[in-house]
Amino acid sequence: MLAGGGADDTGVLTSAFGCYRLDLPTGSWVDLIAAANAVQAAEAALAAGDFARAKDDAGAANALLREQFLPGEEGEWVKQKRRELDELRTRALDVLADAHLQSGAPREAVKWAKETVALEPFRETGYRRLMEAHVGAGNPAEALRVYERCRRLFADRPRG
């Protein structure tokens, strides 16, 4: 895998005392680090009112985070990393929805808010964002349907 990315097999991955160290060649990049940086940049751009940049950065992060981390692998550390990356992707989707809504593109905001709800069905803020986007798109009836779906989901959820 490293050789396919332009790194030879010598010295890139070393081990000592039961630990591993990855030394990538100059100019290499790690997709998960790039995604985290893009989410932070997108959130900062959104806060500054730079909706175009927020959309670009959040879109780049979403594209990098769309695929599952280490598919086919199991283990607690893999599951934890997947949860962290899902949270990061949720933040990117939130920026995409908010930036579109605030820049006057509520239909596009609906698309991104729906992805957030699909990824995190028990996150109430995703439903709220989706309802706001539907109202902004001139579809209050759909916003009410989303509200009802959210209400039922939380009412039927076992407590504890």
* Domain residue extents for the chain: 30-156
Which pLDDT score is estimated for 14?
Answer: 85
Long-range contacts of 120-125 (CB under 8 A, 24+ apart): 120/86, 120/90, 121/153, 122/153, 122/154, 122/157, 123/90, 124/150, 124/154, 125/94
Q: How many C-beta atoms lie closer than 10 Å to residue 137's C-beta?
A: 17
Distance CA 59, CA 66 (A): 10
Q: What is the pTM of this model?
A: 0.85
Q: Which residue has the tokens 């957030």?
A: 116
- Quote the tokens at residue 153: 């989901």
Percent of the chain residues past pLDDT 90, beyond the cut: 78
What letter does residue 92 receive in the DSSP assignment? H
For residue 11, pLDDT over 80 is answered with: no
Pick the CATH number of 30-156 from 3.90.550.10, 1.25.40.10, 3.40.1390.40, 3.20.20.70: 1.25.40.10
Digit-coded pLDDT (tens) for 22-55: 888 888 889 999 999 999 999 999 999 999 999 9
